[in-house]
Every structure is written in structure tokens, then in C-alpha cells.
Amino acid sequence: MGHLSNRFLRFGIILLLLSVISYFWLDRDAVSYFYEHYKDSKWAGYGHVLADWTSSKILVFVGLALGAMVFLNVLKGKGNSVKPAGIIFTSYAIAIVCTFILKFVLARYRPDLFIEQGLFGFHWFSIKHAYTSIPSGHAATVAGFIFPFAVFVFSKSKLVATLLVVFGVTVIASRVFITAHYLSDALVGTAIGSLSFSYVLSVSRKGERIA
């Protein structure tokens, strides 16, 4: 798993670097473009439906169900049989915790405030929805939960793994398309999920060595 961990680590770092570029040179133009050209389009409507079906409430429920399954199997002495599930759950949990901490601390103005009031940047320390743009929770979930799931499914079904990746990328892109987030928000969220997965893989590998 070492090479896989390193790949996700490099991927996450690259995304963070791209997010800086996006913040200064792409975010405002991208939001303005999508708002002006697609705000009331049917494609934006599809994006909002997708957002509802992948809301944090639904995904948290799925994550908790996965965590409960892992815990019960560990109690039954079947820990090795659910190792992939444990890695996925831990990756997701770390990604979500980091996401909410950063949302609170950075408190970035959402695109709506830029469009309506010209506000762009950070408010700092707030849990108001209008001030929690970065990072994208959907993107963090995709990279910390769906992508890891695709990784473990790949050996059994390349088709399913590919469909999961396509679905995940669509979810991330839709957040920018419907101007719920800036491009940099999506990049940072994806980076957090990727780095979380990389970290869990690394720790899991060290555990195997010790054992």
C-alpha cells in the first residue's frame, strides 16, 4: 500500500498548489461565468438534485453505518475481514473532521456573497453557512470515501471502480457548476480527502510491519 499512499499524497499536494492558483486567478471569473450562463439552466437543476442526494446528512449516515459494521466485526474477532472497510471509514472520518475545522476557522465567503455583495475572501471563525465555503464537504467526502472505495473495488470490478470515480468527479464538478463553491474550495476538499486516505494507508502499512 506504500506506493498507493504516496500517489494520493502527491495528488493532494498538487491539488493544494492548484487551489492557490485558482484562488488568485480563477475563482471569481469561474463563478461569474457559471452564474451568468447556467444559473437557471436545466443542468444547474440536475446539479442541485445531485447535491441533495449526496448531502452531508445522507453521507454521514452511510459513513456511520460503515463504521458500525467495522466495529461489530472487530468485536466478533473478524477484524482482518473488514480491513478495507475500516480504512475507508477512518479516511472518511478524518476528512470530515478536518473539513469542518477548516470551514469554521477560515470561514470563507460563499460565492453567493461575492455575486450579491462583492465579498471575496475570509471572514474567519464562523459556523454560518454563508461563511463556510472552503473546503467543499462534498469534495472531501468524494476523495475520502468514494475514491478509496473505488480503489478497493478496482481489483474485483474495474467497471464499478470507474463508475464510482466518474460519479465522484461529477459530484465535485457540480459544486462549482451550480456556484455552491469556488473551484479552489473543491480542490482543497479533494486534497483533504486524498491526504486523509494517504495517511490512513500509511498508518495501516506501518501496523502491518509491526505485526
Peptide bond connecting 135 to the previous residue in cis, omega within 30 degrees of 0: yes
Does residue 124 come out as left (phi exceeding 0), alpha (psi in the -120 to 50 range) or beta? left
Local confidence band at 211 (pLDDT 50, 70, 90 cut-offs): very low
pLDDT per residue as tens digits for the range 3-24: 888 999 999 999 999 999 999 9
pLDDT over 70 (residue 68): no
Q: Confidence band (pLDDT; 50, 70, 90) for 86? A: confident
Please give the model's pTM, rounded to 2 decimal places. 0.87
Q: Would you give the DSSP letter of residue 82?
A: G
> Residue ranges per domain, the chain?
2-205
Our CA angle for 53, 55, 61, nearest 5°, is 100
Arithmetic mean of pLDDT, 102-109: 97
pLDDT at 210 over 50: no
